[in-house]
């Protein structure tokens, strides 16, 4: 079983909501574009948080 799935990730869904909120404010932008551009940022911050938790548990 591969990593590909028809079901969107939680990060993608949250960033899609951000895109829709920006649209409601009057900015003409695609929610899919906002999701696509912000998902790597969300993943990066999750990775950094996991590093911090790992360091605090293992005393690095």
pLDDT in tens, 6-45: 776 776 677 778 888 888 999 888 888 887 888 888 889 9
Q: What is the pTM of this model?
A: 0.56
Which residues are within 8 A (CB) of 11 and not within 5 positions of it... i.e. 6 or more apart?
A: 39, 42, 43, 46
C-beta of residue 19 within 8 angstroms of C-beta of residue 31: yes
Distances (CA, A) of 60 to 46, 53, 55, 56: 19, 10, 5, 7
Helix ranges (DSSP H) in the chain? 10-24, 31-58
C-beta of residue 35 within 8 angstroms of C-beta of residue 15: yes
The full set of domain ranges for the chain reads: 10-58
pLDDT of 17 reads 81
């Amino acid at each position: 079983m591969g990593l590909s799935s028809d079901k969107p990730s939680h990060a993608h869904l949250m960033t899609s909501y951000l895109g829709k909120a920006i649209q409601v404010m009057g900015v003409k932008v695609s929610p899919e574009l906002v999701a696509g551009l912000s998902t790597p940022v969300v993943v990066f911050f999750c990775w950094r948080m996991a590093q911090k938790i790992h360091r605090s548990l293992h005393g690095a």
